Structure 1
């Protein structure tokens, strides 16, 4: 079947589908318009959220600087320097099997 035959078949199927009236075509077009509008709305919302995070991400999410010291506590000079420049949060306890022993022994983060 050539391209002319395929076009004829498509036209015949479209005429058969429209035999019931334009009502079914209107429903299909309404669903298509609703789907396109939903995709456009999601894209606009994503772009707005991305622009907001780029503009105010540090302020919204907090934390401009993170210092990692490994398993050892940070030096007192570094903690004093950071506290003098901005409010600081307490250090997070380390993860791992030994943190419960250290916390029980009165380590600096407990």
Structure 2
């Protein structure tokens, strides 16, 4: 039994748009070199860049934020504690100018006098 969609219903409209999105993404993925369109990158595609230094992927959501560090030895995850939930939709504003140092990935703070 198939449920009938009513375009006037916001839920049905959203479901119809989600179905259309999936269909269009599927069509794009059938094109040469687009098999991973809108999918997370595969590890085998990231490893060639890792010998030059780690490849960093940011995972940002309302539940948690983490940096995935891809190295030739494997992948590790580091939680990003300093990104408050209200700012998680704009993580680029909170990326530090340099990588964190010290224990637990936290940057060591210097007083203004010691700089």
Q: Structure 1-normalised TM-score?
A: 0.29
Higher strand share: 2
Q: Structure 2-normalised TM-score?
A: 0.28
Name the larger-Rg structure.
1
